[in-house]
Chain A
Amino acid sequence: MSWLFNYNWSLMLNPLCFLMIAFGTLIGLLIGALPGLGPTVGIALLLPLSATLEPVPAIALLISLYMAAEYGGAITAVVMGIPGTAAAVPTVFDGYPMAKSGKPGKAVAYSLTASTIGGFFGWIVVAFLTVPLARVCIKFSDPELFLIALFGLLSVSGLSSANLSKTMVSILIGLLLGTVGLDTFTGVPRFCRGIINLYDGFDLVSVLIGMFAITEVLNMVLSDFSVHTVPKGEDMKVSLSLKETRHIMPTVLKSSVVGTICGIVPGLGGGVAAMLSYSEAKRSSKHPETFGTGEPIGIAASESANNAVVGGALLPFLTLGIPGSSTIAIISGALMMQGITPGITLMRDRPELVYSIFVALFFAIIAMYVIGRFTNSLWARVLVLPNNILAPIVLLLALLGAYASRGYVFDVWVCLASGVAWWFLSKVGFSRAAFVLAYILSDLFESGFRRSLQLSYGSYGIFVSRPICVVFLCAIALIFGGRYVSGLIKKRCEQKKEEA
């Protein structure tokens, strides 16, 4: 806390830094909103510019872009049903139905408010709890990471209303597709059939764009074109009342905690954070049946978690020099270009730079809210377009997004195949949410599982012999046991009501 008084504020409080924050935020919103492009691509694009700046304005530029891009993914998720980034996938589940039900303004307002609060939560954690939290999280090893992934996968069963076997098959399809490509342990190509593009596996973003955008295009063209997605003159108000904000606050705070932890633990990131928070929000809701139909809490859970990740991800990076995500790795590269080496010595040798990152993050969140607030009404109006116009726009953006992610036309084919396959599979009751989380977690799940077995020479006992593992297993047992018991009680009550 004392750094607030010791920090040389003139480093950040100058026109150049504010200009960079505004510029970074605008670019971040655009990059995040464009399907296929996320904060990693955005920061990579601005690296040459950041190299020409002094360290503090460069930090301001990159941090504000990172924060805004995490939120930007929600914009197209809400107004078009295309997740701009993997972290915005759960936002589609409720954001898009809410927008389609005639409240696009409210949907983007919920996502912006939740993103802002989540961002602030992550900021508070990184600014005031950096060292102790980093020490705890660094103790997570492969068995713990495997159990986190397992917890995520099991929790997804609560996400889907489909029958259990279909949810499990959806999860297993995700895990199986995640094994395609070179095996990182042995170098053996798995299921590649000689196709070189498959050696890196299926591109996550292309698969996601296909699943959501192509599916949505097919749904749009099969719908009645005389009906607008959102009729003209509908409520475009992009602000929330105090009551609405209060309603989402408990979920926002809970999801921010999940997001921050997922940011701190290397390898998890925004996608996992958003899915876990969403499934937890649904699990703990009194009305889980409203999820997927435009439930504000669903939007709030996903958006607050993926923005809280930003603060969390900075924590191990600043204290231990560990970049927990590809985005942070590129920011690390940008700092190295400035002659700054992140890690334990940075806090000791150049504390003013660490504090500048804290302050930049704070102003980046404010900039995201202000600029987001002014531009959101424009986005909300996209849905006023009739479906016969909107479908080709979504299709064009989807094709470009799938390509832009890695620069392969092959990924466009993957996007189309995944779109058509999941359009069909979702019609017969398979769970997209379960597949998405499994696919996002597949790397972590497999590497955690196999490394743990290697550590224990093939013994599964490793998952119950470590203290943190036992804590995780107890948490899993408590949550799922609780769900089972509450289900039984509910059934009993219904039976009693019927008898009465």
Chain B
Amino acid sequence: MSKKWTSIVTEIVLAVCSLVFFIMAYNFNDGGTSVYAGAGYYPMLVSGLMALFSITGILTDLFGKEKNSRKTIDISRIQNVGFVITAIAIILIFWQFLGLFYVGAVIGVGMLLILLDPKPKTGKRIGMMLAIAVGMTAVTWLVFEIALKIHV
């Protein structure tokens, strides 16, 4: 993935976002108070400046000298990010919809540990990873639920 063009696209998105924020902030000023005292005055200033600097950034990226830093973003192990997102999704589904955070944590973390394990996946190895997941979750349960009385 080319870093230069990723950067330019990002800055375009940020410039558009800042303009959207600017328009939204404009609507906060009800006209009843002095402009500087209104809720939208400060966000308008900030979002306006942000749009300006984003456009400057786009121009710098387009016409400026390229530095000798890495020109691409390494995404060769991108499937691991998918595993992390799946683990998070499992934990959040169990947490938000079933109220079972710790069960979700054992499943999500256990799955992540098994999938990320670089060694051959033998029965013993999978058992070990699951044991780590259970142990880790048990420790967090003891600390948060029992010691700190923070109910998850």
Q: Which residues of A come within 8 Å of B, CB atoms?
A: 30-31, 34, 37, 45, 163, 165-166, 168-169, 172-173, 175-176, 179, 183, 185-186, 188, 190-191, 217-218, 221-223, 225-226, 388-389, 391-393, 395-397, 399-400, 403-404, 407, 409, 412-413, 416, 424-425, 427-430, 446, 449-450, 453-454, 457-458
Contact = CB atoms under 8 A, between A and B. Distances in A.
A172 B49 contact: yes
Nearest to A191: B24
B28 A450 contact: no
18 contacts: A45-B148, A179-B43, A183-B28, A186-B33, A186-B38, A186-B39, A190-B28, A190-B43, A221-B77, A222-B74, A389-B113, A392-B113, A395-B109, A399-B91, A413-B92, A428-B73, A450-B37, A454-B37
B87 A392 contact: yes
The 9 closest A-B pairs by CB, nearest first: A221-B80, A165-B57, A188-B39, A172-B50, A388-B116, A183-B39, A225-B118, A428-B7, A168-B53
A446 B42 contact: yes
Nearest to A442: B46
Q: Which of A169, A397, A453 has the most CB of B within 10 A?
A: A169
Given A172-B49, A217-B84, A446-B42, A400 B144 contact: yes
* Interface size class, chain B: 35 or more
Contact of A221 (B84, B105, B137, B144): B84
A45 B54 contact: no
Nearest to A31: B148
A450 B42 contact: yes
Given A190-B43, A393-B136, A428-B7, A453 B37 contact: yes
Nearest to A423: B81
B39 A190 contact: yes
Contacts of B42: 179, 446, 449-450
B57 A176 contact: no
Contacts of B149: 45
B36 to A, nearest CB: 4
Contact of A396 (B25, B64, B117, B137): B137
Contact of A222 (B24, B47, B81): B81
A221 to B, nearest CB: 4
Contact of A399 (B18, B33, B54, B88): B88
